[in-house]
Amino acid sequence: MRAPDRALKNAGPASNRTASGGRPSRDEAEEAVRTLLRWAGDDPAREGLLDTPSRVVRSYEEFFSGYAEDPVEILKRTFKEVEGYDEMVVLKDIRFESHCEHHVAPIIGTAHVGYLPKSRVVGISKLARIVEIYARRLQIQEKLTAQIANTLQDVLDPKGVAVVVDAAHQCMTTRGIHKPGVTMVTSRMLGLFRSNPSTRREFLAIIGTPSDRLQNV
């Protein structure tokens, strides 16, 4: 595990005291919310907003819980008794909710994850957990896609990994350019999925993505 990942893993939920290294306390976080409410033009002392700071902080603990989890640990338990199975393993339509690191606006979409095992497989729930861990951090979609694929490749050491993410970004649908209905598709192909066009086409066919949408992968 890289040093930054260890730091994030050990960070855990915010406490009521200021953490070493300058992490704000829960009280400081709640006060920051009150400041934003005042900046927006409202009164954080009015009845309807009295509990909003604590609610927002609790929401942030949920939204960004991925910082407190280690994806490498999740993938460590694998299974070798697979009767020689060496074909593609694909988990489709993994719904996720993330937040963009530029506007802290929601990113809502689905991820499709596949890999070609060498001699061991991982429980399918672990594939969804990896998506969830990285999604519950401040993200851009390109980085999210690469993190999922790279971690699976590094830890499982398969013949190849394929990840396709299709998501809507509220930072461009509810603000800014205001273009609802637009989704962004990103992909990361490693190993045989990158070097073998037929393997890549098979994966794209399984997840229902026309190959011409990702012809430059």
Residues 54 and 101 in one domain: no
pLDDT at 84: 78
Of 115, 119, 118, 121, nearest in space to 148 by CA: 115
Report phi then psi at 194, rounded to 5.
-90, -40
Residues 100 and 57 in one domain: no
Q: Rounded distance, CA 135 to CA 8, Å? A: 14
Other Cβ atoms within 10 Å of 56 Cβ, number: 18
Q: Which residues of the chain have pLDDT under 70?
A: 1-21, 210-217
Active site includes 178?
Answer: no
Sheet containing 106-116: which strands, arranged edge to edge? 138-139, 89-100, 106-116, 160-169, 184-191
Is residue 80 assigned to a domain? yes
CA distances from 213 to 74, 161, 187 (A): 32, 19, 10
Is residue 157 assigned to a domain? yes
Active site includes 153?
Answer: no
Of 17, 5, 170, 166, nearest in space to 73 by CA: 5
Domain count, the chain: 2
CATH number at residue 194: 3.30.1130.10
pLDDT at 204: 96
Residue in 28, 103, 170, 202 annotated catalytic: 103
Of 75, 182, 70, nearest in space to 137 by CA: 70
Residues 208 and 105 in one domain: yes
Active site includes 81?
Answer: no
What's the whole-model pTM score? Answer: 0.85
Q: Which domain holds residue 48?
A: 26-63
Residue in 30, 69, 99, 100 annotated catalytic: 100
Q: Rounded distance, CA 75 to CA 115, Å? A: 13
Active site includes 169?
Answer: yes
Residue in 139, 141, 147, 153 annotated catalytic: 141
Active site includes 103?
Answer: yes
Residues 83 and 49 in one domain: no
Residues 115 and 41 in one domain: no
